[in-house]
């Protein structure tokens, strides 16, 4: 209450001027006063949706390590204790709640949005309508928020969108074509892939063509940047709901001495990376000068073992691990529609993408030390 009283007093003060007594020189709110009023009413923040997820945790930790703690973290659930002291504020809410987003729009000045909230691939197949609402309508709501923010600030708002190799549909050609680039085989065979591909195009539209028939059309309100992630392996969060989770599930089970039956065949191959490289890629892309970027959406990858090769690697560190197969034909079909590898040469050229971990160093320097510590008794 006191805050709003102070704001109203300031507003009244801004409108008052000695010249109001002169009818030929009416009082106007100056540009300087408008900026001052905006600073009074809105705090500058970075907005991260889906903050409790695997990437959300890693990104918030990385930003905090760089001295950035002006983060508004949004999630369906209460913000976890691990990251709550590394943010400005946590908000429990839904990206489909337009009233909540309007409240955020009015209270904060947003410089960048990292839109990580999503319904993942396996759940999306069971609930395609809900997946569309969360993944597409939710993204559209955040893009609208970004445009509103850009217009009110008269500044471009950066927008990061995590896409996925699920946008590809390989059919029976997977093993024959090798690494594919961003413009090939974009015929997704899963609801999640359809959602991600459409949202990529929504982001490009909002960045370049939004309201193009309007008299005040101005491209560039949003600086939209996206990465098509491969499967991601993290030691800090247990995977839930992803069709590519067979590798992280495998190593987490082995570290706990729990038998694991892989839901895909041993010869199944697709690209993966570890979480530190995923977070590094986001930061590198978002910190790159826009003039260097030749496209909005980029492939990245680090290694692409088969499920069987990964299992043998796991057994090298956990000799007593029991790893078998219980193939789920439907999930196998989805994974088979994704490429065995991707061409990430554009990312390497445009913003110097280079993973820190290959398969061997991922095990030796990241997975084994940290996952063993996580589950040690």
pLDDT in tens, 304-349: 999 999 999 999 999 999 999 999 999 999 999 999 999 999 999 9
Neighbours of 34 (CB within 10 A): 11
β-pair partners for 47 = 72, 113
pLDDT in tens, 125-184: 999 999 999 999 999 999 999 999 999 999 999 999 999 999 999 987 788 898 999 999
Three-state DSSP string of 147-167: HHHHHHHCCCEEEEEEEEHHH
β-pair partners for 163 = 228
In this predicted structure, the answer to whether residue 27 has a pLDDT above a threshold of 90 is: no
In this predicted structure, the answer to whether residue 10 has a pLDDT above a threshold of 60 is: no
Sequence-separated (6 or more) residues with CB below 8 Å from residue 350: 288, 292, 293, 294, 295, 298
User: pLDDT at position 31, please?
Assistant: 41
Region of 178 on the Ramachandran plot (φ > 0 left; ψ -120 to 50 alpha; else beta): left
Can you tell me the distance from the alpha carbon of 86 to that of 89, in angstroms, rounded to the nearest whole number?
Answer: 9
Determine contact, residues 278/248, Cβ cutoff 8 Å.
no
| Assigned CATH topology for domain 118-375 | Rossmann fold (3.40.50)
User: pLDDT at position 176, please?
Assistant: 85
User: pLDDT at position 173, please?
Assistant: 78
Q: What kind and span of H or E run contains 231?
A: strand 231-233
User: pLDDT at position 54, please?
Assistant: 84
Contacts 24+ apart (CB under 8 A), 285-289: 285/160, 285/225, 285/227, 285/347, 285/351, 285/353, 286/112, 286/158, 286/160, 286/225, 288/350, 288/351
Is the pLDDT higher at 155 or at 10? 155
Q: How confident is the model at residue 41 (pLDDT cuts 50, 70, 90)?
A: low
In this predicted structure, the answer to whether residue 22 has a pLDDT above a threshold of 50 is: no
Neighbours of 300 (CB within 10 A): 27
pLDDT in tens, 189-238: 999 999 999 999 999 999 999 999 999 899 999 999 999 999 999 998 77
User: pLDDT at position 7, please?
Assistant: 43
């Amino acid at each position: 209450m006191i805050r709003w009283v102070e704001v109203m007093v300031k507003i009244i003060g801004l409108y008052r001027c000695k010249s109001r007594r002169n009818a030929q020189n009416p009082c106007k709110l100056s540009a300087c006063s408008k900026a001052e009023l905006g600073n009074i009413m809105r705090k500058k923040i970075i907005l991260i949706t889906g903050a409790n997820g695997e990437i959300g945790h890693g990104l918030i930790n990385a930003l905090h390590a760089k001295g950035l703690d002006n983060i508004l973290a949004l999630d369906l659930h209460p913000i976890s204790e691990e990251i709550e002291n590394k943010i400005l504020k946590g908000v429990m809410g839904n990206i489909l709640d337009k009233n909540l987003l309007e409240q955020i729009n009015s209270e904060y000045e947003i410089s960048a949005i990292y839109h990580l909230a999503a319904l993942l691939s396996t759940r999306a197949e069971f609930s395609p309508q809900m997946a569309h609402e969360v993944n597409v309508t939710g993204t559209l709501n955040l893009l609208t928020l970004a445009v509103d923010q850009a217009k009110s600030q008269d500044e471009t708002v950066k927008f990061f969108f995590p896409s996925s190799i699920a946008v590809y549909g390989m059919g029976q050609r997977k093993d024959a074509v090798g690494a594919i680039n961003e413009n090939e085989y974009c015929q997704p065979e899963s609801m999640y892939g359809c959602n991600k591909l459409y949202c990529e195009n929504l982001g490009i539209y909002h960045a370049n063509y939004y309201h193009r028939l309007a008299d005040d059309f101005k491209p560039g309100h949003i600086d939209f940047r996206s990465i098509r992630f491969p499967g991601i392996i993290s030691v800090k969060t247990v995977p839930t709901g992803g069709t590519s989770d067979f590798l992280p599930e495998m190593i987490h089970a082995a570290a706990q001495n729990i038998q694991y039956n892989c839901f895909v065949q041993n010869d199944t191959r697709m690209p993966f990376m570890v979480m530190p490289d995923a977070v590094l890629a986001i930061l590198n892309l978002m910190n790159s000068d826009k003039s260097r970027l030749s496209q909005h959406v980029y492939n990245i990858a680090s290694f692409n073992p088969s499920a069987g090769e990964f299992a043998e690697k796991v057994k090298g560190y956990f000799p007593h691990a029991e790893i078998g197969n219980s193939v789920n034909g439907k999930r196998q079909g989805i994974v088979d529609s994704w490429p065995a590898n991707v061409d990430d040469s554009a990312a390497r050229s445009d913003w110097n993408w280079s993973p820190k971990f290959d398969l061997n160093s991922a095990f030796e320097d990241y997975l084994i030390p940290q996952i063993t510590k996580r589950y040690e008794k």
